[in-house]
């Protein structure tokens, strides 16, 4: 379970005090991150028992955060590298791949390569989430699965059909291909496992890992959700905005975004037939969409010769890059790659959401880049273009430390299968896809016409009674009607009167509204001949 954390418990540190303080400061900062929000304010709590318990709980959380912060030091040993200019006049985007390659280590050099596949292009590419495997899909039916770690072609085959998109499913064992008419699922040996006929003429595919959902758009401008663990079609919605092949999923909340020809970006979840959010992003068709791994930023490219980066919290564009882009992708560390024709640009957040050009690259003229994809856990950008595939080095793009519980590039088959089982057990229902997944388990805001629960009614009743008791004014009466017993009785009556409506409400919640009338009507209907029974309801009593 937690072997690695235990094995990596921090040893006692006893260098100079200054160093120690620095370390402590760092630890505190990290611990703050692991506290996942501010400490709850318990001062307003009246319940002393709860207060005590929560205080204890809060202490435990604090300790946990500290332990996690300490563990982080050992679990995340390496930091991402970046191209850093030596003087202010130097620009990182002037640095070419040719000048990078001689500087880096041999292993990294091997990661930058080109594959010339001129016949069956243009190619789309996909990496597996752990960055080990890559799928190549040539438009003219060429499919290949490559182990990029070992530089080994696992399977290569021809489907002799137009291939629009390829996507890995849960792991390297299965992948889905959007072909001319249907979506097919193949295993790593190239065997066709499924032909998903529900989604005809697919244009684009996306896979939601935690929900086991394969999402596709088709030529009929439909959005199609299919559960690949059960095979059920979870949802199939008509977007009503025209067929689109611009699709991306939000890694934070698994919401699917579609870019449309009207310049709109729509966000979807499987449980609602209407888009959650519709944004007018461009004055022209949207050509590409990509999400930042944090889920807060989305980059869109439109035909209006603009690439915009939007903050989804404010719904406003925080940066606009002039130029066309056929494809966009965010790296794990937040680098944005965009490709237009044979030119590739990489933009980087220099802090405070201020994006600046980080690197440029151009492949030989005439090559048209179809897809750009950052390879997870590596500083590599893969380009699928009309003449095959190339990969270039983009320093600082990938996450340097992988979490084997999340994605392990070096996993064994056993680990893989275990992980698969675990993932199946932890599978999230499609309902859990929502704009703010943090609200799961929280108290839902009450809708207007909702019935009150029994407890709430009781609470209200208690409040009302208290109010009546405090406000009740009993007049002084004469002739034996002012006895304490009588006064008490009167008071009690008042209290009962205050209680009455709530008691009635409670009864209603318990029994439901009276159904007497309906039964009578049914009886009447039984008397009638069958042909007239359906009119019985309309007949007045």
Partner 1 sequence: MADSTEKNRKKQKRTKTKAVESTFLSKTSKYEKKGRTKMKGKRKGRDNDQRKRRGGGPRLPNVLRQELGLDAKRNSSSESDSEGGEDVRDFYELDEEVAQEESGKNRRFDEVENYQYELPDNFEDEEVPSDEGEDDSDKSEGEDQRDKEDGERHLRMLQDITGIPKEAFDGEKKKREEVLLSQADVRSEIVTIHDLLAPLQGMPGYSSLRKRVLQQEKQPMTLQAPLPKSERDKVQRKVSDKFARKEITKWEGVVKRNREAPTLFFEQDQNLGYSTVGAIASGFEPRTEFEKQMAQLRQDPELVEAYKNDGAKMLELNKVSVKDVIDRQNRLAKMRSLLFRHEMKAKRIKKIKSKTYHKIKKKERQKAASAELEMNPEAAKQQAIKQEQKRAEERLTLKHKNSSKWAKRILKRGLDVQDDATRAAIAEQLQKHEELKRKMNSMNNNESSTDEESSDDDDEEEDESKRALKALNKAKEKTAKVLEEGDEAPKKGLFALPFMERGLKKRQEEAYEEARQALEDYDATLNQLQDEGEEGEEETQQNSSAVKMTGKRTFGPAKKPVAQEYNKRQRLDDFGKDSDSEEEDGEFDEPVPQIIEDKNDKTEGVQLGTALLDEEQVMAQHAIFRNLDDMEKAVGPKTSYEVAIFAGDSFRKVRSDSGHSNKATTSSVIHTSKPSHETKETDQSYETDSDTEMVEGFLTTNLITDQKPDYELPSQAELVRRVFAGDDVAAEFERDKLETLNEENPEPEKPALVPGWGQWTHVQKKKGLPDWMVREHEEKKRKRGEALKKRKDAKFDHVIISETINRKAEKLMATSLPFPFTSKEAYEGNMRMPIGPDFNPASALSALNRPEIIKKPGLIIQPIEYEEVDPDETHDQPKRIIQGAKPKQSSKEKSKKGKLSNKLVPKTLGKKVKST
Binding mask 12-31 for partner 1 (x = CB under 8 A): --------------------
Q: Which residue from 434, 465, 495, 525 is in contact with partner 1, where contact means CB under 8 A?
A: 434
Binding mask 435-454 for partner 1 (x = CB under 8 A): ----xxxxxx--x-----x-
Which 306-325 residues touch partner 1, going by CB under 8 A?
315-316, 324
DSSP states of 400-441 as a string? SS--TTT--TT--HHHHHHHHHHHHHTPPPGGG--S-GGGTT
Q: State the minimum distance, in angstroms, from the CB of residue 368 to partner 1.
A: 3
Q: Which residue from 432, 460, 506, 533 is in contact with partner 1, where contact means CB under 8 A?
A: 432
Q: Where are the alpha helices (DSSP H) in 237-292?
A: none
Measured from the CB atom, is 239 or 397 closer to partner 1?
Answer: 239
Q: State the minimum distance, in angstroms, from the CB of residue 406 to partner 1.
A: 8
Residue 39 binds partner 1, judged by CB under 8 A: yes
Helix axes of 48-75 and 17-35: crossing angle, nearest 10 degrees = 120
Q: Which residue from 13, 24, 60, 520 is in contact with partner 1, where contact means CB under 8 A?
A: 60
For 172, other C-beta atoms within 10 Å of its C-beta total 21
**DSSP code for 46:** -
Q: State the minimum distance, in angstroms, from the CB of residue 39 to partner 1.
A: 7
Which 120-159 residues touch partner 1, going by CB under 8 A?
122
Q: What does the block give as tokens for 434?
A: 């929502």
Sign of the CA dihedral 275, 280, 285, 286? negative
Q: Which residue from 190, 293, 295, 341 is in contact with partner 1, where contact means CB under 8 A?
A: 341
d(Cα 448, Cα 452) in Å, to the nearest integer?
10
d(Cα 375, Cα 377) in Å, to the nearest integer?
6
Q: Which stretch binds partner 1 (CB under 8 A): 91-99, 204-212, 281-289, 521-529?
A: 281-289
Using an 8 Å Cβ cutoff, are 64 and 2 in contact?
no
Binding mask 249-268 for partner 1 (x = CB under 8 A): ------------xxxx----
Residue 40 binds partner 1, judged by CB under 8 A: yes
Which 454-483 residues touch partner 1, going by CB under 8 A?
455-456
Cβ within 8 Å of residue 491, ≥6 positions away: 469, 472, 474
Measured from the CB atom, is 129 or 331 closer to partner 1?
Answer: 129
Residue 529 binds partner 1, judged by CB under 8 A: no
Residue 415 binds partner 1, judged by CB under 8 A: no
Please tell me whether residue 310 adopts helix, strand or coil conformation: strand
Q: State the minimum distance, in angstroms, from the CB of residue 370 to partner 1.
A: 9
Residue 274 binds partner 1, judged by CB under 8 A: yes
Q: State the minimum distance, in angstroms, from the CB of residue 340 to partner 1.
A: 8
Rounded to a whole number, what is the distance in angstroms from the first to the last CA of the chain? Answer: 70
Q: Which stretch binds partner 1 (CB under 8 A): 145-153, 250-258, 269-277, 411-419?
A: 269-277
Please tell me whether residue 319 adopts helix, strand or coil conformation: strand
Question: By C-alpha distance, which of 432, 442, 128 is closest to 252?
Answer: 432
d(Cα 159, Cα 140) in Å, to the nearest integer?
8
């Amino acid at each position: 379970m937690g072997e690695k954390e235990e094995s990596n418990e921090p040893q006692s540190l006893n260098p100079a005090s200054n160093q120690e303080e620095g370390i402590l400061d760092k630890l505190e900062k990290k611990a703050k991150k692991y506290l996942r929000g501010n400490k709850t304010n318990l001062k307003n709590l009246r319940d002393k028992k709860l207060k005590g318990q929560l205080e204890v709980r809060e202490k435990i959380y604090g300790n946990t955060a500290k332990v996690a912060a300490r563990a982080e030091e050992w679990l995340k040993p390496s930091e991402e590298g970046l191209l850093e200019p030596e003087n202010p006049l130097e620009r990182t985007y002037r640095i070419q791949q040719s000048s990078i390659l001689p500087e880096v280590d041999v292993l990294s050099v091997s990661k930058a390569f080109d594959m010339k596949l001129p016949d069956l292009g243009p190619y789309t590419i996909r990496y597996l989430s752990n960055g080990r495997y890559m799928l190549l899909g040539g438009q003219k039916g060429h499919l290949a699965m490559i182990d990029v770690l070992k530089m080994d072609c696992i399977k290569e085959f021809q489907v002799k059909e137009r291939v629009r998109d390829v996507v890995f499913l849960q792991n390297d064992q299965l992948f889905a291909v959007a072909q001319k008419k249907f979506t097919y699922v193949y295993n790593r040996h190239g065997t066709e496992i499924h032909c998903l006929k529900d989604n005809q003429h697919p244009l684009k595919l996306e896979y939601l890992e935690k929900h086991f959902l394969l999402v596709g758009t088709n030529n009929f401008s439909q959005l199609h959700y299919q559960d690949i663990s059960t095979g059920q079609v979870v949802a199939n919605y008509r977007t009503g905005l025209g067929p689109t092949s611009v699709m991306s999923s939000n890694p934070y909340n698994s919401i699917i975004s579609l870019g449309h020809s009207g310049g709109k970006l729509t966000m979807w979840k499987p449980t609602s037939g209407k888009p959650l959010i519709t944004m007018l992003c461009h004055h022209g068709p949207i050509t590409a969409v990509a999400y930042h791994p944090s889920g807060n930023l989305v980059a869109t490219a439109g035909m209006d010769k603009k690439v915009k980066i939007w903050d989804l919290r404010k719904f406003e564009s925080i940066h606009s890059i002039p130029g066309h882009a056929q494809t966009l992708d965010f790296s794990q560390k937040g680098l944005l790659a965009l490709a237009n024709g044979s030119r590739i640009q990489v933009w980087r957040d220099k802090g405070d959401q201020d994006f600046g050009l980080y690197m440029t690259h151009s492949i030989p003229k005439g090559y048209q880049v179809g897809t750009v994809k950052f390879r997870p856990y590596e500083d590599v950008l893969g380009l699928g273009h009309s003449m095959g595939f190339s990969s270039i080095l983009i320093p600082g793009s990938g996450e340097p430390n992988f979490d084997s519980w999340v994605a392990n590039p070096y996993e064994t088959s056993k680990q893989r299968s275990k992980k698969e089982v675990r993932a199946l057990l932890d599978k999230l229902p499609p309902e859990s896809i929502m704009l703010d997944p943090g609200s799961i388990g929280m108290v839902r805001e009450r809708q207007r016409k909702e019935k009150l629960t029994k407890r709430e009614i009781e609470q209200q009743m208690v409040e009302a009674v208290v109010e009546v008791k405090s406000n009740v004014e009993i007049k002084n009466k004469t002739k034996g009607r002012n006895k304490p017993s009588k006064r008490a009785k009167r008071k009690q009556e008042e209290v009962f009167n205050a209680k009455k409506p709530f008691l009635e409400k409670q009864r209603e919640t318990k029994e439901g509204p009276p159904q007497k009338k309906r039964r009578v009507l049914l009886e009447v209907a039984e008397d009638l001949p069958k042909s007239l029974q359906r009119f019985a309801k309309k007949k007045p009593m």
